[in-house]
Amino acid sequence: MLTMKNINKVFKTDLVETHALRDFNLSVQEGEFVAVTGPSGSGKTTFLNIAGLLEGFTHGDYFLDGVNISNLNDNKAAAIRNEKIGFIFQGFNLIPDLNLAENVEVPLRYRGFSAKERQRRVKEALEKVGLGARMKHLPSQLSGGQQQRVAIARALAGEPRFLLADEPTGNLDSLMARQVMELLEAINKAGTTIIMVTHDPELARRAQRNIQIVDGQVCDFTLYQGGQNHQVDTMEQAAS
Amino acid sequence: MLNIKPIVSSLLRSKSGPILLLMQIILSVAIVANASFIINERLTMMQRDSGIAEQEILTFAIYNFDPSIDATLQNKVDQRILRSLPNVKAAASTNMLPLSGSGWSTTLNLGPDPETAKSTPQVAMYMGTEHTLETFGVTLVEGRNFYADEITDDVNSPNILLLITKALADEVWPNESAVGKTLWAGRDVQVTVIGVVDKMQGAWVDSSDLEYSIIQNVDYSGNSYMVRAEPKHHEALQQQILDALMTENPNRVIDNFQSIAVVKENSYRDHELMVTVLSMMVVLLLLITSLGLTGMVMFNIQRRTKQIGTRRALGATKGDILSLFLTENYIICIVGGLIGGVLAVLLGQQLMQHYDLPQLNLIYPVLTVVGMLLVTTVAVILPARKAANISPAMATRSV
Amino acid sequence: MFLYYVDLAWRSIKKTPILSLLMVLAISVGIGITITTLNVYNMMAFNPAGERAEQLNTVQLWSQGPDSWADYHSQVTYQDVMNLRKGKVANEQAAMFRSGMAVQTDDPQILPSLNGVRVTDSGFFNLFEVPFIYGNSWDKSVDEQAAFQAVIGKKLNQKLFGGENSVGKTIYLNRKPYQVVGVIDDWHPQPKYYDPTSGAFSKAEQIYIPFSLTASEEFSVWGNMSGWKYERLDDYQDRLGSEKVWIQYWVDLPTAEDRQSYKRYLSQYVEQQKELGRFTDGKSPEESAQLSNVDAWLERNHVVPEDNKILLGLSVLFLSVCLVNILGLMLTKFLKRAPEVGVRRAIGASRSQIFSQYMVEVGVIGLFGGLLGLAWAWGALYGLSARFGVAEGLTHLSLSMWVITPAIAVGTAMLAGLYPAWVVCRTKPSVYLKSQ
């Protein structure tokens, strides 16, 4: 479903060239739950930005659903973000002036859905995350975990092909983190592909598949069959 | 702390904010300098002394519509009646009202041949009697007034005598006495100067020839009259004049009672309007610029809260923080003032070229920049005091 | 989508009320000043002749001798007018000057009053499309065979005859009986273009009488009379035969050919006069006569004073200061909201959608500023007219301003918003998505 081939991303300043990603290769299958780990500065965020079409890359190819989406112009990239990708951020990034329903509605607005369709989807998405009764609340009136659930509802409302989650539980206490994680797993079970960036090995272990990025390259990947993998643990330690 | 170099380089790095402020100051200086120059020019113009007892002269118009009236005779009777009224210091007929914007003007020649002779500037041509000087309240500085028996009723009389203003005398005969000199109106008409008055403006306040006036010894039976009396008597006098003159002859319209002060105000009204609108502009402009400055400084403080906290943690005093912001904005203000001053001069040149305005005096851009510095100080100190109160602990907090 | 943007704009304005108020104030003050001066300027620069502006022309003649006036005078001599009137070359023509007389009727209750009077030809009413309520102009024959007839205005008719049809009744001007032949409606072209020399913004006269009476009745001239040389004038007949200029002369020349042929006619006339020893300045006959259409005529008579042009220019500069000011404020405000933009971009808003959203916000602020500015302008005009007694016609806020003002305000605001909106829509979304 998602394939990256030999992606390179170079940041240039007057003095130095930094390779954030070098010959980065990755393929994600439909319905997978992929955890991306790696030490800070390894290129996790760059990967996320490129996968989410928030940034371009220097060279390489990026296929989504078999279509090459390298070097799209801004409008096309925005449309793909809107239709195919759902974002979940560590800081939730809800718009503080909008109530929950309006926050969830934002991507639907840009998609150009009718008012009726928007209403239906907002309701469905918020009910899915268990906040159907709080549509008129403002984000500031909610706990962190609830806010993150709203953000998930916002990501789901557009029925994306995959979710990109960036440290989704990083700002939450452990109880809330577990609830959010369970929600993500349920969503994955329902068929949505999820790519999650995290530095928490505990969380990563819960994914079907782990990918580690070190120095801008995919260092190793292992298919999990629900169990644990020691090899990844050692790699983790080696890297840190 | 007052190290200007790092402040300049940080200003140069943060592009749009300071540039916008700079543009605003440049434009403001250009506008304010020219506007205040025009304001001052008009105010000076309005404050000129007319030489005439503006407040005391009550004027009015008589319109005789009965064809059988002997206008010459009626005029004499009317003036006699006016002089007999209580509180009247003096009264005279006239062909025109000073400072009124309408009247008679002419040029006279210094020799008999109009083709070759030099001519005087355009002069306002009053016609009056031996009572006119006293009615105007002007002072004779040389020569004499008309005698009663010299007054004629005929505009084309061959025996025209002139009282002229000192400004005209000095212009035409710079280093000699004007009294006794002769001027020509056309080839055959000679007029003689018999006296010089200190100051007596003409009718057109916008004319550069305003100070050049003459009085001829003609008792003009047109329709304008001037009565001199203390302003407090004017109201009562108005009724007394109406009663007395209408009793004398009812076949006429008597109206337009107003003092020369009012006439003058009307003539300068457009200038007063200009001064008012321009003053409004200057005040609002300064207000807007200072609001813009305040807003920008507030924004900067918010953006640099952490930086300010760090500076404080590193030992900067409150005064240091204050002077940091002041220095920063003074630099913008002075640079803007310099460019704005140049722009002001250019704008002034354009105005001078296209319109009837004198050249911009350089003191105005300079004063405007000084004013801007004052405005800057106030507009910066208020928000910057808040910045100075930022706690050094901000440095360690991650916001 | 537009309504969504309006809704977002309104939320954003409500969220930062002080900053928004500052922006609205800044625009409104700039707009207020600009509209005040623009309104006065527009009123002054208005051409009331409309589509007839080209075909209505005044005649100027270079009748002055050498070394006198350096330009055409707006007005012409009586003798020239009488000669040109005889030619009847133009479609319609009218000579005119302003006079004044005491008005009475047979009703002794009505006190005599002094009124401005326009002495003119029957063509006046056609030339300037004067609307009649009762009767009509005097007959064309009266322009040659003088008769004591008059056209009066609605207001005077109200005062003298209680507003009824007064055609056939008698009024007395300086005690002479004139028969009323027509009553015109309230008609006050602003500027008073047919004769701006006696107050470009004063009201039209209430009495019109035949020009053909001038020679016999010796009407006084309530206007400008100028001469380029000394002439001894002992009586009114001397004045009529003199070189003094004091009459405005209008002709109606519908087509360009008409104007061409009239110019030829004028040249021929000047040539004739040169043979009679007039027009001595040595200019060719073609260069000694000109036609001024309404625009040129208004310009020639300085109907728009210089001060107003200066004020208009300065207020446009003033508006640009306001523009820069709000540009700064908006930049401040928009950049503060960059994180929100980052989120919107991430979940699928394109740059143009973000740009539109912010332009709509700017437009809404501009609209508020425009409305408030209109109120300022209205107040300023009201205050100025109360304080300075400026002609009513000039301080009335014209209807078009209700459209022009918001348009200028929104336009200015959008111009100022262009850069901030561009900056904010260009921000990299990824920068603002990490929680810092």
Query: What CATH number corresponds to the domain at position A133?
Result: 3.40.50.300
Residue where one domain finishes, among candidates C219, C252, C285: C252
Pairing relation of β-strands B252-259 and C176-184?
Answer: unpaired
Contact A25, A4 (CB under 8 A): yes
Higher pLDDT, C9 or B10: C9
Q: Do both C215 and C321 map to the same domain?
A: no
Contact A194, A163 (CB under 8 A): yes
Instruction: For chain C, positions 353-382, list CB contacts with chain A under 8 A.
Output: 353
Instruction: Name every residue whose Cβ is closer than 8 Å to that of residue C86 and which is 6 or more positions away in sequence.
Output: none
pLDDT tens for each residue of B112-128: 887 788 889 999 999 99
**CA–CA distance, A216 with C292 (Å, rounded to integer):** 81
Asked whether the beta carbons of residue B31 and residue C327 sit closer than 8 angstroms, the reply is no
Asked whether the beta carbons of residue C348 and residue A81 sit closer than 8 angstroms, the reply is yes
| Least CB–CB distance from C351: residue in A49, A74, A170 | A74
What parts of chain A have a pLDDT lower than 70? 220-240
Structural domain harbouring A203: 2-13+24-239
Q: Do both C37 and C62 map to the same domain?
A: no
pLDDT for the residue B350:
87
| Domains in chain C, number | 2
Asked whether the beta carbons of residue C352 and residue A75 sit closer than 8 angstroms, the reply is yes
Q: Which residues of B touch C311 (CB under 8 A)?
A: 274, 277-278
* Residue B56 confidence (pLDDT) above 90: yes
**Closest Cα in chain C, distance from residue B11 (Å):** 15
Asked whether the beta carbons of residue B65 and residue C331 sit closer than 8 angstroms, the reply is no
What tokens were used for C199?
A: 């107050």
| Least CB–CB distance from C102: residue in B65, B284, B288 | B65
Question: B253: closest CA among C275, C46, C173, C79?
Answer: C173
Asked whether the beta carbons of residue C306 and residue B21 sit closer than 8 angstroms, the reply is no
Asked whether the beta carbons of residue B278 and residue C311 sit closer than 8 angstroms, the reply is yes
**Closest Cα in chain A, distance from residue C5 (Å):** 10
Contact C379, C24 (CB under 8 A): no
Three-class DSSP labels, C89-126: CCCEEEEEEEEEEEEECCCCCCCCEEEEEEEECCHHHH
Tally of CB atoms within 10 A around A22: 16
* Chains with 3 or more CB pairs under 8 A to chain B: C
Residue from C24, C207, C229, C307 whose CB has the most chain B CBs within 10 Å, to mutate:
C307
Low-confidence winner among A32-46, B14-28, C242-256 (lowest mean pLDDT) = B14-28
Asked whether the beta carbons of residue B24 and residue C234 sit closer than 8 angstroms, the reply is no
Residue where one domain finishes, among candidates C252, C269, C292: C252
Asked whether the beta carbons of residue B351 and residue C36 sit closer than 8 angstroms, the reply is no
Higher pLDDT, C74 or B20: C74
In a domain, residue A18? The reply is no
**Closest Cα in chain A, distance from residue C355 (Å):** 12
Q: What is the DSSP letter of C196?
A: G
pLDDT tens for each residue of B231-287: 999 999 999 999 999 999 888 889 889 999 999 998 998 898 889 989 989 999 888
Mean pLDDT, residues C388-399 taken together: 73
In a domain, residue C259? The reply is no
* Residue B399 confidence (pLDDT) above 70: no
Residue where one domain finishes, among candidates C235, C252, C269: C252
Question: B261: closest CA among B52, B40, B61?
Answer: B52
Residue from C232, C324, C326, C335 whose CB has the most chain B CBs within 10 Å, to mutate:
C324
User: Which runs of E-coded beta strand occur in A65-134?
Assistant: 67-68, 85-88
Question: Nearest residue of B to residue C114 by CA position?
Answer: B253
Torsion B131-B134-B135-B136 (CA) sign: positive
| Domains in chain A, number | 1
In a domain, residue C267? The reply is no
Q: What is the DSSP letter of C230?
A: -
Question: Nearest residue of C to residue B16 by CA position?
Answer: C328
pLDDT tens for each residue of B186-218: 777 889 999 999 999 999 998 889 999 999 999
**CA–CA distance, B178 with B172 (Å, rounded to integer):** 8
What tokens were used for A233?
A: 């643990």
**Closest Cα in chain C, distance from residue B139 (Å):** 31
Contact B16, B299 (CB under 8 A): no
In a domain, residue C298? The reply is no
* Residue C42 confidence (pLDDT) above 80: yes
Tally of CB atoms within 10 A around B329: 26
Indicate the pLDDT class of residue B308, thresholds 50, 70 and 90.
confident
pLDDT for the residue C228:
86
Question: Nearest residue of B to residue C172 by CA position?
Answer: B65
Q: Which residues of A touch C346 (CB under 8 A)?
A: 52, 54, 81, 87, 93
* Chains with 3 or more CB pairs under 8 A to chain A: C
Instruction: Name every residue whose Cβ is closer than 8 Å to that of residue B50 and which is 6 or more positions away in sequence.
Output: B98, B99, B199, B200, B201, B260, B264
| Least CB–CB distance from A171: residue in C428, C429, C435 | C435
**Closest Cα in chain A, distance from residue C24 (Å):** 21
Mean pLDDT, residues C340-354 taken together: 89
Question: B314: closest CA among B396, B392, B397?
Answer: B392
Three-class DSSP labels, chain B: CCCHHHHHHHHHHCCHHHHHHHHHHHHHHHHHHHHHHHHHHHHHHHCCCCCCCCCCEEEEEEEECCCCCCHHHHHHHHHHHHHHCCCCCEEEEECCCCCCCCCCEECCECCCCCCCCCECCCEEEEECCCCHHHHHCCCEEEECCCCHHHCECCCCCCCEEEEEEHHHHHHHCCCCCCCCCEEEECCCEEEEEEEEECCCCCCCCCCCCCCCEEEECECCCCCEEEEECCHHHHHHHHHHHHHHHHHHCCCEEEEEEEEHHHHHHHHCHHHHHHHHHHHHHHHHHHHHHHHHHHHHHHHHHHHCHHHHHHHHHCCCCHHHHHHHHHHHHHHHHHHHHHHHHHHHHHHHHHHHHHCCCCCCCCHHHHHHHHHHHHHHHHHHHHHHHHHHCCCHHHHCCCC
Q: Do both C37 and C65 map to the same domain?
A: no
In a domain, residue C235? The reply is yes
SS3 state at C193: coil
**Closest Cα in chain A, distance from residue C29 (Å):** 30
Contact B56, B231 (CB under 8 A): yes
Question: Nearest residue of C to residue A171 by CA position?
Answer: C435
Indicate the pLDDT class of residue C367, thresholds 50, 70 and 90.
very high
Instruction: For chain B, positions 56-85, list CB contacts with chain C under 8 A.
Output: 63, 65-67
Higher pLDDT, C365 or B295: C365
CB-neighbour burial class of residue B142 (10 A; exposed 0-12, middle 13-18, buried 19+)? middle
Hey, is the C-beta of A222 within 8 angstroms of any chain C C-beta?
no
In a domain, residue C296? The reply is no
Report field, pTM of the whole predicted structure over 0.90 = no
Instruction: Name every residue whose Cβ is closer than 8 Å to that of residue C424 and which is 6 or more positions away in sequence.
Output: C334, C335, C337, C338, C341, C354, C358
List Cα–Cα distances, C92 to A68, A198, C140, C205, in angstroms.
80, 93, 11, 21
Asked whether the beta carbons of residue B398 and residue C436 sit closer than 8 angstroms, the reply is yes
ipTM of the complex: 0.84
What tokens were used for B343?
A: 């722009």
**CA–CA distance, B126 with B131 (Å, rounded to integer):** 13
In a domain, residue C276? The reply is no
Q: Which residues of A touch C434 (CB under 8 A)?
A: 45, 89-91, 166
Angle in degrees, CA B218, B222, B228, rounded to 5 = 75
| Least CB–CB distance from C324: residue in B20, B63, B281 | B20
Q: Which residues of C touch B35 (CB under 8 A)?
A: 314
In a domain, residue A69? The reply is yes
pLDDT for the residue A48:
87
In a domain, residue A19? The reply is no
Hey, is the C-beta of A49 within 8 angstroms of any chain C C-beta?
yes
List Cα–Cα distances, C367 to C356, C410, C419, in angstroms.
16, 5, 19
SS3 state at C276: coil
* Chains with 3 or more CB pairs under 8 A to chain C: A, B
Quote the radius of gyration of chain A (alpha carbons, Å). Answer: 18
Asked whether the beta carbons of residue A78 and residue C350 sit closer than 8 angstroms, the reply is yes
Residue from B288, B372, B397 whose CB has the most chain C CBs within 10 Å, to mutate:
B288
Mean pLDDT, residues C142-156 taken together: 95
Q: Do both C204 and C334 map to the same domain?
A: no
What tokens were used for C77?
A: 């001599």
Chains B and C touch (3+ CB pairs under 8 A): yes
Structural domain harbouring C211: 56-252
Asked whether the beta carbons of residue B31 and residue C29 sit closer than 8 angstroms, the reply is no
